[in-house]
Chains A and B, each alone.
Chain A
Amino acid sequence: MTIERPEANILIGKRATLIQEFLTGESMDFLKSLTSFLDEYFYTVFEKSISARKMVVSGNPFAIIALGGYGRKEQCIHSDIDLLILFDRSVPLEVETFVQELLYPLWDARFEVGYAVRTIEECIDMSFERFDILTTVLDARFICGASLVYSSFMETFKSRLSGKRLKDTLNYLFEHGKKRLKDFGDSTYLVAPDLKSGFGGLRDYHTLLWYSKIKSNIKFRRDLEYYGFLSNFEYTSLEDSLAFIWDIRNRLHHITGRKCDTLHFEYQAEMATLLGYKNKAGQPDVERFLGELHGKMEFLKQLNQITFEDILFTRKIKKESAMPKPTKTEGLVIKNRRLYFANTVAILQKPDLLLKIFLESGQAKIPLSIEAMRVVSEFGHLVDDEMRTDPLCVKLFKRILALSYWEFNVLNVMLSTGILERFIPEFSAIVNKIQYNHYHLFPVDKHSIRCVQVINSFKEPGATQMKSLYAGVFKDIRNKNVLLVAALLHDIGKSDPAKEHSKRGVKIAGPILDRLGFNPTEKEDALFLIQHHLLLAKTATRRDIFDEETAVSTANVIGKIRLLRMLFLLTVADSKATGPKAWNDWTENLIKDLFLKTMGILKTGELASKKTQRLIDKKKQDVLALLRENWREESVSNRLNGMSQRYLLYVPAQNIVDHINLYRNLKDREFIWQITKENNSDIRTVSICGKDKPGFFSKIAGIFFLNHIDIVASQAYSLGDSHILDVFKVMPPKDLIFEREKWEKAEEDLTQALEDDHFLDKALGKIPDTLAISSGTPPETSKVRIDNQTSSFFTIIEVLTYDFPGLLFSITNALYRNGLNVNVAMVGGKVDQVIDIFYVRDINGDQKIESDDKLEQIKTSILNTLPHISAKEVLNEKN
């Protein structure tokens, strides 16, 4: 049914003009104007309505009442229109005709109108049953009709809002707020902020208004100041923030053509242009726009936090003492659970109160009153060079940095009042520095502060395994100030987007750390953390963390366990404080893994100490010198850089040279070796380079045994690109006449052994069952020790036994048959007893062995393969 109504057409026309004026910037008060146009419509239709007159005449007076946002006169383009048609005692049937007359034209014109028809009694009952109705009633405003019905309704409503109902209502407001945080989250600094329902959205202001209306008789927003809920300063800031957000919300409604309150990413650039933002000082308009928006939303959020503190307080305690209570800091007092300066003039004599108030607030967990925030801002100029370096003030600042986690973030207030910038002037350059992308949610200043807050949250012992790891690592850090100051300053270099911020940060942070009285070591540590704050995150995602070399090179950059601990927590806090894109279980796992693996390398110290580095550097130089004639320096360097640190540390320079030459000549062959004779000795050195195949090492040992070549010592290494480099020191065959032919035979055997897995079975039978040892004391039995903790990458197996021909083959064959690959072997020098060390990994998964059963099985099978040890002397005596 379509009802033609000239009033509706007038309304539509007026609204269209108003929108035009709004878009061109001619309309100053859109929300109120649209409200009054609607009011006019309802008033005119009501005046002209015959059905309305009938109802009034038949003794059913009623009022038309605006609820919710319409009641508050805050009507955006596509906001809902909530209407209440309220009767004194009973609802007559004619109301249906009236509603049709009144609302059909609006619905036809696609206004979102919701309405309710109730009696006073019904409406009051429902208000106390359903709190969402109650909050709309709190904003009820009379439009037209019988004003007496409206006033008697409001009077009854107010009188009932006391005692238990009052308490319930406050409870509701509190719970509603908690639920809202859960449902909508914190909208300040979201990629797509919810201008209405999220924290920092308009709902924060609504909550304050509702709370104030429940507690006193205020009717309008303006009353918030008159009734003392806000100071003039706060009220002005509120007006300013609301006007800004409403403007955006209204434009958003217009752009999307519907009631859309979420400022999605794709609208943000357009919005910035519409609002007249310009690119300035290298910062795009959209970043400047978002910076300002987040600032306003932050204010609403702070207001809401304080409202919450108030509600909490009102719920708990019935009577509040109006008398200020002293605090343990002289010059600061508590009134109504807020912190105030006792005497503003005193700040002039003791400017350190400007810092003390934050420390007191954080320690006592009492928020600063907004009044105190204003005072702090106004006296901010007292924080001068002298104060910035004063040891007592510096100490205060460090204690503020280390305050335990609290939702009401004291550092945030320090930032919003400008004191943080006064104390660390370099901070100004990153204030409200938004990075416009899906990844970074927070402006750099807020991000830095969140980072500090996350680190302080590690103080709490954790409920989950990860939280307890963070808590444990945090506890292990001795000088927490270094970590905290690095967290605060890690992005200080972001002031100039064109430069690499980590390096730039070091330059800027240096003088700050001096002012804050950090000693040279602390300063060096903090600067290291700033410069390398991306190291772990980058390495974890861009390099293979299952490769030992990744952990070794990370350990080499970091160098010290205390730095690794701090860098780890800084990385976690930095990622957590960036936003959900930067932090999730997946990333957490990668970073934790890299941390623990690097820790393993640093703790062992073998591969990442300064001394190791010196030795390796020296060796690289030696190799370069030896290869200078036939090789270009660059290609040797490339080769050397691709080799593992362990290899470079333990293999002599001459063998490395051999390996490099062999590697070049390997081509398609499975392996290639070179046999050299040592000066003045029978010993031969066999350098081997081959394609890594499971059992390779065992097979070499096997064919040496088969060909009566006695192994004196050997080292085996695998190269990252699936090649192996081995060095064997061997005694040549006893009969040296046909030595060359004998080596050729061995080479032939190895080729066959690599092809045929059972080629060496015949050699197995030649391993002796018992071994008679002659020594002064009774010989020890063979031992196998398995170390599964030292390395994150390998299971380390040590075999202690007596040497005999075939020893290496018997052990490595047992390893191979157990599905293990020997990645590193150090097979010892030739005194009677030997300790052979093998770094092994599971062939199947290319990782260390985790199962205890499997470890036990390996141990047993090695021991079983070794000959029984007996004493020779006993036998001799018998003979």
Chain B
Amino acid sequence: MKKIEAIIKPFKLDDVKEALSDIGIYGMTVTEVNGYGRQKGHKEIYRGAEYVVDFVPKIKIEIVVNDDRAQEAVDTIRNAANSGKIGDGKIFVLSVEQAIRVRTGETGDEAL
């Protein structure tokens, strides 16, 4: 099993969600996050006062899929989240040792 973590631009969430459900991935965890990479925070000025935004708002989505679907999921996220610009985000793929469904106790792929 692989866990896919993707940091994307907020306005791309709906596109990514839709693209993933098109390939049959319906579940995901979504978190509103702040951070920076090459795209840094910035400042704005209103009436002489500076308003500094240290971090750039992003969305983090997390999904866990079985190994043979990981590449497809990554590609789908990448296509949907791509606007060709800096700040489009990053995707991380991690190995998952075990998954357990709380209600039934099913494990492994069954639990996904």
Q: B84 in the interface, Cβ–Cβ < 8 Å?
A: yes
* A721 to B55 Cα, complex, angstroms: 25
The segment from B37-45, B66-74, B104-112 found at the interface with A is B37-45
Are A845 and B44 in contact, with the CB atoms below 8 A? no
Given contacts A542-B11, A589-B34, A722-B84, contact A468 B49 (CB under 8 A): yes
The segment from A152-160, A162-170, A769-777, A846-854 found at the interface with B is A846-854
Given contacts A472-B46, A586-B34, A847-B42, contact A542 B14 (CB under 8 A): yes
Residues of A within 8 A of B46 (CB): 469, 472-473, 596, 599
* A597 to B46 Cα, complex, angstroms: 10
Residues of A within 8 A of B84 (CB): 721-722
Interface size class of A (residues with CB under 8 A): 20 to 34
Within 8 A of B (CB), among A827-879: 844-848, 850
Q: B27 in the interface, Cβ–Cβ < 8 Å?
A: no
Are B45 and A789 in contact, with the CB atoms below 8 A? yes
Write the A350-393 contact mask toward B (1 if CB under 8 angstroms, else 0). Answer: 00000000000000000000000000000000000000000000
Q: A590 in the interface, Cβ–Cβ < 8 Å?
A: yes
Write the A702-734 contact mask toward B (1 if CB under 8 angstroms, else 0). Answer: 000000000000000000011000000000000
Q: B9 in the interface, Cβ–Cβ < 8 Å?
A: yes
Residues of B within 8 A of A789 (CB): 45
Q: A543 in the interface, Cβ–Cβ < 8 Å?
A: yes
* A587 to B87 Cα, complex, angstroms: 18
* A850 to B45 Cα, complex, angstroms: 12
Given contacts A542-B14, A544-B83, contact A845 B51 (CB under 8 A): no
* A473 to B46 Cα, complex, angstroms: 9
**Which of B33, B44, B47, B87 is close to A472, meaning CB atoms less than 8 Å apart?**
B47
Q: A592 in the interface, Cβ–Cβ < 8 Å?
A: yes
Within 8 A of B (CB), among A565-589: 584-587, 589
Q: A111 in the interface, Cβ–Cβ < 8 Å?
A: no
Given contacts A472-B49, A589-B34, A845-B39, contact A546 B87 (CB under 8 A): yes
Q: A687 in the interface, Cβ–Cβ < 8 Å?
A: no
Write the A791-808 contact mask toward B (1 if CB under 8 angstroms, else 0). Answer: 010000000000000000
Residue of A nearest to B44 (CB): A596
* A469 to B44 Cα, complex, angstroms: 12
Residue of A nearest to B58 (CB): A586
Residues of B within 8 A of A585 (CB): 34
* A789 to B51 Cα, complex, angstroms: 12
* A465 to B51 Cα, complex, angstroms: 8
* A586 to B56 Cα, complex, angstroms: 9
The smallest beta-carbon distance between B17 and chain A, in angstroms, is: 13
Write the B61-79 contact mask toward A (1 if CB under 8 angstroms, else 0). Answer: 0000000000000000000
> What number of B residues sit within 8 Å (CB to CB) of A?
26
Residues of B within 8 A of A850 (CB): 40, 42-43
Are A541 and B10 in contact, with the CB atoms below 8 A? yes
Q: A593 in the interface, Cβ–Cβ < 8 Å?
A: yes
Are A722 and B85 in contact, with the CB atoms below 8 A? yes
Q: B102 in the interface, Cβ–Cβ < 8 Å?
A: no
The smallest beta-carbon distance between A541 and chain B, in angstroms, is: 6
* A792 to B43 Cα, complex, angstroms: 8
Residues of B within 8 A of A846 (CB): 38-39, 85-87
Residues of A within 8 A of B43 (CB): 850
Given contacts A469-B49, A469-B51, A721-B84, contact A847 B44 (CB under 8 A): no
Are A586 and B51 in contact, with the CB atoms below 8 A? no
Residues of A within 8 A of B23 (CB): none
* A542 to B39 Cα, complex, angstroms: 19
Residues of B within 8 A of A587 (CB): 32
Residues of B within 8 A of A473 (CB): 46
The smallest beta-carbon distance between A713 and chain B, in angstroms, is: 29
Residues of B within 8 A of A847 (CB): 39-40, 42, 86
The smallest beta-carbon distance between B85 and chain A, in angstroms, is: 6
**Which of A469, A543, A593 is close to B53, meaning CB atoms less than 8 Å apart?**
A593
Are A597 and B44 in contact, with the CB atoms below 8 A? yes
Residues of B within 8 A of A593 (CB): 44, 53
The smallest beta-carbon distance between A449 and chain B, in angstroms, is: 28
Residues of A within 8 A of B55 (CB): 589
Given contacts A586-B32, A589-B34, A848-B42, contact A544 B11 (CB under 8 A): yes
Write the A460-499 contact mask toward B (1 if CB under 8 angstroms, else 0). Answer: 0000010011001100100000000000000000000000
B interface residues, Cβ below 8 angstroms from A: 9-11, 14, 32-34, 38-40, 42-47, 49, 51, 53, 55, 57, 83-87
23 contacts between A and B (CB under 8 A): A465-B49, A468-B49, A472-B46, A472-B49, A542-B11, A544-B9, A546-B85, A585-B34, A586-B32, A592-B44, A592-B53, A596-B45, A596-B46, A597-B44, A600-B44, A722-B85, A789-B45, A845-B39, A845-B86, A845-B87, A847-B86, A850-B40, A850-B42
